[in-house]
Amino acid sequence: MRIELKLYGVRAQIFKLFAVIVLFVSTPALAADKFVVAFGDSLSAGYGLKPAESFPVQLEAALRRGGTPARVHNAGVSGDTTAQGRARLGFVLRSLKAKPNLVILQLGGNDMLRAIDPAQTEANLSAILADLKKRGIPVLLAGMLAAPNMGKAYQTRFDAVYPKLARQYSVKLYPFFLNGVTANRTLLLKDGIHPTGKGVSVVVAGILPQVKRALGR
């Protein structure tokens, strides 16, 4: 009698285990969050803002509200030029716990403010794009436009860098990261350069459709 009860107990445990396995195999896996890296300068880092007002945080919230589960990692460093971004790219990618589904490359504004030769800006951005392409990481290139006080010749050369690289590396281009912000002083901090929290929300609203399309692929 005891032997029969033991056998019955063993059979019951085996049945439970089998049921758990069947349930696990037959249940569809939940969609994993998309992983986005905002790789840029102070405009990505959130200079002068509360953490919740920064571009990565606001973009992540907007994606989730729109039905795209995503995590947006802040890899912005205030003051970074394209050369400095190029130098730290490998370290940033090695430090991540997962391979990004998308990198938003937002650099070049400090090059322009320092009047760095646009040829150097192009070379640095090209090296970054080549590295990301080699790693199989999709990119959305966030463009920058030169300020009018830089002079017409400089403005023409600088503004041409981003469309040229987007074509060369077959990446999507958001032509001007601060579109809708720079012409409205109420959306800028006192320095007249960096967006306020509301200014960042305008940036996010502008770039969001392209980010969603990029993640949808």
To the nearest 10 degrees (0 to 180), the angle between helices 161-169 and 152-159 is 20
Question: Has 191 been annotated as catalytic?
Answer: yes
Answer for the pair 125, 165: CB distance below 8 angstroms, yes or no.
Answer: yes
Question: Has 33 been annotated as catalytic?
Answer: no
Contacts for 36 with CB less than 8 Å, ≥ 6 apart: 56, 59, 60, 63, 70, 71, 72, 73, 100, 101, 102, 103, 104, 211, 215
Token pair of 181, please?
């912000």
Answer for the pair 56, 72: CB distance below 8 angstroms, yes or no.
Answer: yes
Bridge partners for 104 per DSSP: 38, 140
Given 41, 42, 111, 159, the catalytic residue: 42
Given 41, 73, 111, 194, the catalytic residue: 194
Question: Has 170 been annotated as catalytic?
Answer: no
Q: Which residue has the tokens 């459709």?
A: 209
Catalytic residues: 42, 191, 194
